[in-house]
Structure 1
Amino acid sequence: MKYMMTYDMMESMRNTNQWLGSTARAFASYPAMAMTANPFMDWLGAWGEVTERAFSRMVVKPDWNIPSQTAADGTDHIVHIETVLEKSFGNLIHFKVGGREPKKRRVLLVAPMSGHYATLVKKTVISLLPDCDVYTTDWHNARDIPVSSGKFDIEDYTLYLVDFMKELGSDLHVIAVCQPAPLTMAAVAYLAAEDPSAQPRSMTLIGGPIDPDANPTSVTEFGHSVSMGQLEQLMIQQVGFKFKGVGRKVYPGLLQLSSFISMNREAHTNAFRDQIIATAKGEASEHDKHNEFYDEYLAVMDMPAEFYLSTVERVFKNRDIARNDFTVAGKKVDIGAITTVAVKVVEGEKDDISAPGQCLAALALMTGLPDSKKAAHLEPGAGHFGIFAGGKWRKNIRPLVLQFIDDNADAPQPAKSAKAKASNVTAMPAKTAAK
């Protein structure tokens, strides 16, 4: 399937369904259709409205739409999105609250590159903004990146994170959500060896596949059930002429979306059926719960082929990070080199994507980190999205993360050298004798 033809065919199918929905909605809204009572027209219009919205959202990057922040004096401050560091495959952006003094807590929120845009963590950003100065990774849609920009695999992703952390300085607390958890840990370990002064103060890993085999899920089993050759043949396509990245090999967003939906097909089918009924009855609204969720869920982006394939091969199949055998730019990354960065692991009891135990495996890999700097939390009843968005995140997990950040806000004290320790030991008897 590594052809432009198959890529363009999927886009044509999406476009056709959007057109059919638009046509049905327009046809049902003709005044002449109201001359006689015909419930079918109401259902046709409702189906068209829901269908058009669903298929049009698949190719649109959602807006951040961050609400203004209310200061202590009751005034509202607009949130501006600034680009701190711009790169070919993703930018480092800052949610700057205009007119507000910088917060002591500086947080880098590492968003997933797993099919959805970085706006997937929008609610996480909104919940952190009142108490933190928030930065995040804003990954680009691969179909819009020219082939001349080169490749982008998990090693490049890791080095991007290294550059972002260096840019922000060591007075930083990193929160990685889902997919980037193992690579964020690798980036911090890379800094520990290459530039210790640039390490963040703390790192919170939320529901990430550090060791996928620790508690296998359907995602893990799929990774083991197919060969790399099969994946490349079945999942990889070339971007069509319509986009700037024409010719680039990608794992298409539309193909990813079909996989997402197939995992819970019945639930999604029922959700769209109920929305059509609500629309026909006049009970749906522009920003109701269904539209708010699916506007984000259906918005998918193409993933660079080399990133997808190297993730499957090195994180899931070979378990390079779980075995502490990961290399970046020819250098072995030793997770045990992390000795000063406080680490907290957050998992959800009902997470069916990164099941409990997969992320917890990170703590065992950090052999050089004292137990006093390790923490873990398992949220009862929480699914995958619930551990970084929604009520369980806001009420239970977020306060724990903020407390963990505060507990590790001070710069770590440099370890004393063996020579310094020896001089202290020999100096002690002399002082005692003088007394």
Structure 2
Amino acid sequence: MPPGITTLAADAPELSAANTGFMLICSALVMLMTPGLAFFYGGMVRVKSTLNMLMMSFISLGIVTVLWVLYGFSLAFGTDVGSVIGWSSDYVGLGDIGVTELWDGYTIPVYVFAVFQLMFAVLTPALISGALADRVKFTAWAVFIVLWVTVVYFPVAHWVWGAGGWLFEMGVIDFAGGTAVHINAGAAALGVILVIGKRVGFKKDPMRPHSLPLVMLGAALLWFGWFGFNAGSWLGNDDGVGAVMFLNTQVATAAAVLGWLAYEKLRHGSFTTLGAASGAVAGLVAITPAGGSVSPLGAIAIGVIAGVLCAMAVGLKYRFGYDDSLDVVGVHLVGGIIGSILVGFFATGGVQSDAKGLFYGGGLEQLGKQAIGVVAVLAYSLVVSALIALLLDRTIGMRVSEDDEISGIDQVEHAETAYDFSGAGGGTVSRTTAPATAPTAAPKAKKVDA
């Protein structure tokens, strides 16, 4: 997000129809990312968990939207209180805001900024769900979202993007969510899975994706929506910074696909579609905090590094024994750390701000700020998320029973299954239904003379 801008009354910005329209389109693109994530995750699980995975993303659209209107926007972007949280009574219920009232220092209405930021708030808890596949009660997940966005996401968003937030004021660069979204979600995922434990059969039973076409569809929707996620985070389209971010988003993602596939070929001997999709997401994650600060060549470097290191990181769960079902830790936590830290190396000082990284003569100053931001968000989200999971586990219970997990969480939690094979055609004809004798051939037609 761009830093706050202080303007005099004489040169106060006026509402821009172009920027307003641009930001509404970007908001719709970011909203599309949550269903895209649902498809991405839904294809990666086994058949018996498909609907549950879809629903864990979709329920975030309902819960977080309502909370955002009631108090979330006020906590994240209201008047600063102690550099750790915001609060503005005018934002409670979003009822005391003028239709054309502008977001301070910009040419878009407050309502437009609020709806754009809402889509970030919706997506972030949905990202966590991929680590918890196959084993979490849907009711417990819904309650977790309520608690988590209230005590983790809203405050962290204020730290990073809110005027007066302590990381914002320190000068930590996070263009579109490397810390507030991806490290936040990845650390939360790790905290929760350390509490709830492993899936039944982890490291013993095959748990391969049931639909790689769904995975690729989800990855494509995420890639498409991410242009709004990243380019829109400059909150306008007047000075070219958003265009640089748009280009860098494409460049880094492409480079990460190549990096992941190259590592996969050297390590495992094959180029897989799952690897291509995962590499794309890793590149998108890594460029999110950095894309407004680096050149396209820097974006290539960030993409390749993220593709390789995230591909390496997904195997850590087998080494250390934590069951991150769909590699939220390996992709989002690790990718967010990579992108945030590499700002301290590749920032050119000529795009988003004048802050320069180590490779551009900026010394260690910006790198140090980035490291503080990474550690602070990671530690806070990890600890508080684990405590929330522990609270829920000791009260209403987080996990379904072992029998329910084995039989399939879709049927248990949703009374549905993703696919109905009962009416599918094909196969052999049963002997009991086959005709006893071949049907008599139809008589030949008689020739009729013209």
Same-fold call, TM cutoff 0.5 = no
User: Looking at both structures, which has the greater relative contact order when contacts are Cα pairs under 8 Å and sequence separation is at least 6?
Assistant: 2
The normalised TM-score by structure 2 is: 0.25
Q: Considering fraction of residues, name the structure with more strand.
A: 1
The normalised TM-score by structure 1 is: 0.26
